[in-house]
Amino acid sequence: MEAKEIVLVISLIILIVCAVSVNLTKNLLSAVIIYLSYSSVMCIVWVLIESPDLAITEAAVGAGVSGIMLLLTLKKVKEENERISDEIEDRRTTREILESKKAEDESLGGEA
C-alpha cells in the first residue's frame, strides 16, 4: 500500500466516525462542527481520488455555504429560545403579581 492509499483509508474511517457521531451528539453546535469536519475530510477524499472539481465544490458548498447557513440557523434558534424563555418568565412574574394582589384584596376584604 502506498501513502496515498493509506491516507485515503484513514480519511474514509474519519468520514464514518463523523457520520455516526453527528447523529449521536445532543448538542446542535457540536453537530454542526462535526458536519463541517465531515465536509472538509470529504474535500481531501475528492482530491485523493483525483477529482479536484468535486473537491472545490464540496469545499464551497459543503463547508462554506451550508456551514454558514447552519450556524446562522443555530443563532436564530438560540434567540427564539431566549425570547420564549423571557415570555414565560414575564407570564410567571405577572401571575405572581396577580396572585399577591388577589391575596391582598382578600385579606383587606376579610378585615372590613
pLDDT at 100: 84
pLDDT single digits (tens) 19-47: 999 999 999 899 999 999 999 999 999 99
pLDDT single digits (tens) 57-89: 998 998 889 989 999 999 999 898 888 888 888
| Structural domain boundaries enclosing 60 | 3-111
**Cβ–Cβ under 8 Å, residues 64 and 31:** no
CB contact set of 17 (below 8 Å; sequence gap of 6+)? none
pLDDT at 56: 92
Number of domains in the chain: 1
